Structure 1
Amino acid sequence: MFDAKSLLDQFLGGAAGAAGQDGASPKSRGGADDLLSMGRDFLGSQGQGLALGGLAGILLGSKAGRKLGKKAVSYGGLALAAGLAYKAYQNYSASKQGAPRPQTDPLPLKAPAGTSFDPARQPGGESGMAVTLLTAMIAAAKADGHIDRDEQTRIFDKIDEAGLDSEAKAFLMDELRAPLDLDKVVRAAATPEAAAEIYAVSRLAIDPDHAAEKAYLQMLAARLELDPALVDEIELAVREAQLAG
């Protein structure tokens, strides 16, 4: 089995670095072609970990995961997902009870340890949860249809250059080739906490400024049976993570 936890770390941690090379956001550089060019330059000049960040940038396109603040990307991917979901759930619970909002730190990521949001306590443990979150992010990236056959071929070329082992390559290629399967994403939500984390990373993977992306997130939240008020708290937590310096 490939190291899913490490790959998730590199997806979330490296995604901001590639976008910041020249200070330009992917949208300001002109779309997928410029993203691919930026990724190629990045892959040619950096080591394997950062190369995977460039790969994630190409995969996610102009998505929100590339806009994470520096503080956010200093944490591992599992900690980030669990922390965002945990913070959102705490604030959601407080709001329902009419209590003050307990979380003021944009990234209270150490709190989930030992709680039901702790990745180690999820079915399948940390490795299983990392696979679930990677699958959810890739599915979300397909929501606007930008990963077509030609784009897949280009991404596969970058996967070959990234120095991944055969199992990691196979996982990414299989997920990219497969049609968008919301049922598969939803089935992986074995607990309410996992459902919140799946939604959080899906929101990190896309910037819902297109109708298809908005519709995907709305459908995902409904299928995961997330309370709209909790979804709003996750959205707020994600925005704060993107701004955390």
Structure 2
Amino acid sequence: MNTRGLLDQLLKSGQELLQKQGGSLTGKPGIGGLSGSTGANNGLGGLLSGAGGGALAGGAMALLLGNKTARKLGGKALTYGGLAALGVLAYKAYGNWQAQQGGVQQGEPQTLDRLPPAQVEQHSQAILKALVAAAKADGHVDARETALIEGEFQKLDNDPDLQRWLHAELNKPLDPADVARAAGTPEMASEMYLASILMVDEEHFMERAYLDELAKQLRLDPALKAELERQVRQA
């Protein structure tokens, strides 16, 4: 599965989505995307009808975000630009946390911005799993929206193995313990938590509770959890 390519498209599309939605991403999900657009070439409608992978990925990301506000989009790492940027954030947070611990130096964090391709693919699948789960944390992804999201993913990548995997993830009950089992290394756990922070609204009770339980299941040190959240706020 080329999860890496799909995830990179999704993360990078956040920049275009933010630019083109023009502050109108406040309506409820509609057919093929979100309502509230103000014309064919303005708002999310223009993005969803546009050509190219960026536009398609923007549609998939918009559906995952659901009824989030423009403020939410503007304040999070959807503006950072892809996997490499996510890896840099994780590297900074993990490195700062290591320095705070004192004692024996544990070596350079092996985050996805500095790994060989095979390992980046493994990290990417874990991060996409975390993103999909976090999108369900506010309860907005129902059967109809699942079908719409799957349709957008099919436009992005027609790999049948990847489609089956995504279908299974979208249809699973929300389970932080299941998500956490995908973390093969502490750095991967950090990246998954970072991706989850980007997707949820921390002021929403259900989503904040999900984040806290995910951190517990990922066995994140409280100081590392705080540092990851601080990196997102500062970026």
**Common fold, TM-score beyond 0.5?**
yes
Tell me how far apart the structure 2 counterparts of residues 70 and 153 of structure 1 sit (CA, whole Å).
23
Distance 1:69 1:208, change over 3 A: closer
Q: Which one of 91, 100, 111 corresponds to residue 95 of structure 1?
A: 100
- For structure 1, the residue ranges without an aligned partner over 5 or more in a row are 98-111
- For structure 2, the residue ranges without an aligned partner over 5 or more in a row are 38-43
8 Å CA contact 2:18, 2:79 repeated in 1: no
Aligned partner of 2:40 in structure 1 is: none
Aligned partner of 1:104 in structure 2 is: none
Structure 1 residue 154, shift from structure 2 partner: 2.7
Tell me how far apart the structure 2 counterparts of residues 177 and 66 of structure 1 sit (CA, whole Å).
29
Aligned partner of 1:106 in structure 2 is: none
8 Å CA contact 1:123, 1:190 repeated in 2: no
Tell me the percent identity: 37
Structure 1 residue 137, shift from structure 2 partner: 0.6
Give the counterpart letter for 1:137 in structure 2. Answer: L
Give the counterpart letter for 2:90 in structure 1. Answer: A
Q: Which has the higher contact order (CA 8 A, sep 6+)?
A: 1
State which drifts further: 187-196 or 63-72: 63-72
Tell me how far apart the structure 1 counterparts of residues 117 and 8 of structure 2 sit (CA, whole Å).
19
Give the counterpart letter for 1:45 in structure 2. Answer: G
Structure 1 residue 158, shift from structure 2 partner: 3.2
TM-score, scaled to structure 2: 0.80
Does 1:47 find its partner at 2:52? yes
Give the counterpart letter for 1:206 in structure 2. Answer: V
TM-score, scaled to structure 1: 0.77
Distance 1:120 1:96, change over 3 A: closer
**1:146-185 residue pairs with structure 2 within 5 A?**
146-160=140-154, 162-167=155-160, 168-185=162-179
Structure 1 residue 31, shift from structure 2 partner: 3.7
Structure 1 residue 206, shift from structure 2 partner: 1.2
Give the counterpart letter for 2:157 in structure 1. Answer: L
Structure 1 residue 198, shift from structure 2 partner: 1.0
Tell me how far apart the structure 2 counterparts of residues 230 and 123 of structure 1 sit (CA, whole Å).
26
> Deviation per CA, 1:90-144, whole angstroms, max 9, x where unpaired?
22233344xxxxxxxxxxxxxx9x7422466589611111111100110111111
Tell me how far apart the structure 1 counterparts of residues 78 and 157 of structure 2 sit (CA, whole Å).
25
**1:226-241 residue pairs with structure 2 within 5 A?**
226-241=220-235
Structure 1 residue 207, shift from structure 2 partner: 1.9
Distance 1:150 1:198, change over 3 A: same
The size of the alignment, in residue pairs, is: 220
Distance 1:33 1:7, change over 3 A: same
Does 1:222 find its partner at 2:220? no
**1:2-17 residue pairs with structure 2 within 5 A?**
3-17=2-16
Q: What is the CA RMSD across the aligned residues, in angstroms?
A: 2.9
8 Å CA contact 1:200, 1:234 repeated in 2: yes
Does 1:58 find its partner at 2:63? yes
Distance 1:165 1:190, change over 3 A: same
> Deviation per CA, 1:7-59, whole angstroms, max 9, x where unpaired?
11111110232132142063xx2343495245553121231233112211211
State which drifts further: 174-183 or 119-128: 119-128
Structure 1 residue 184, shift from structure 2 partner: 2.1
